[in-house]
Amino acid sequence: MATAGQAINAAAARLAGVGIDTAHYDARLLVAEVLGVEMRRLPASHHAELTGDEAARLAALLERRAAREPMSHILGRRGFWTLEFAVTADTLDPRPDTETLIEAVLDALEDRGRPRRLLDFGTGTGCILLTLLSELGHATGLGIDASPAALAVAGRNALSLGLAPRAEFRLGDWGEGLNGQFDVIVSNPPYIPDAEIDGLEPEVARYEPRSALAGGSDGLECYRRLIPHMARLLAPGGIAALEVGAGQAVDVCALLAAAGLAGASVRRDLGGIERCVIVRRIK
């Protein structure tokens, strides 16, 4: 039977052979998963032989990854900010790009310790709302999504992170029927132009929910529906922040201004792409 180190090398070769750039890293994750050890402890197990059951499980997981199923779906979890979130095929994967929105919101808040009401449209896993709640200890939040399955995942994440007492999740169509005033409104809406989805990397095009990707013919359809609700629900002095796709920031700023939320600024992600539009409602 192969040792863990041999299994990693063989798995990495298999994944590299189908064009996966992160082949060796993914192989290490898969072997750590079947051995039930943390990645940082994997070197201590390199000479340990896999049991027959472990080898069989690794082979099954490896075939899933070779078919370009995302690692997050295989493992059922993904890290975001400083937290770990459960993910399923019903939710968009949390991505490092979205941490740009978290940074922008936190930087814009002058007193993080005061009570605030947060609203997250298209909450998915709840990663944006729950991350902000983890950083804002006196805030409460509401997450809206059109998918009951996604809301179930968000609820489980709130429980596992100990944030359920301050988080509520509700089925909804953007802001339809929603009233009240919120101090922070955030969203990572679908923004991929419909015609471009099939050309995305297989992990996205084949496995992530199309409803969480498709932004209409120009990628801006959801912003047109969402922004009027943001303008209606944002409290005086409140902050609204939206993730945007490459090249969309100017158009989204214009939509915000047309809805009465002028003066938006843009923040770039680590790749230099304009990724977040943020605006404060003047008191």
Task: Name the binding residues for S-adenosyl-L-methionine.
Answer: 122-126, 145, 174, 188
Which residues are annotated as part of the binding site? Answer: 122-126, 145, 174, 188-191
Distance, CA of 93 to CA of 245 (rounded, Å): 16
Contacts of 158 (CB under 8 A, 6+ apart): 126, 130, 164, 167, 169
Q: Which DSSP symbol is given to 87?
A: -
Nearest to 58 by CA among 26, 84, 85: 26
Output the CA torsion sign for 213, 217, 218, 220.
negative
Which residues are annotated as part of the binding site for substrate? Answer: 188-191
Tokens of 274: 């304009």
Contacts 24+ apart (CB under 8 A), 47-55: 47/3, 47/4, 47/5, 48/3, 48/4, 49/1, 49/2, 49/3, 49/4, 50/1, 50/2, 50/3, 50/4, 50/7, 51/1, 52/1, 55/1, 55/2, 55/7
Triad 90, 275, 265: Cα angle to 5°: 130
- Name the amino acid, one letter, at 170: R
Distance, CA of 186 to CA of 125 (rounded, Å): 14
SS3 letters for 151-175? HHHHHHHHHHCCCHHHEEEEECCCC
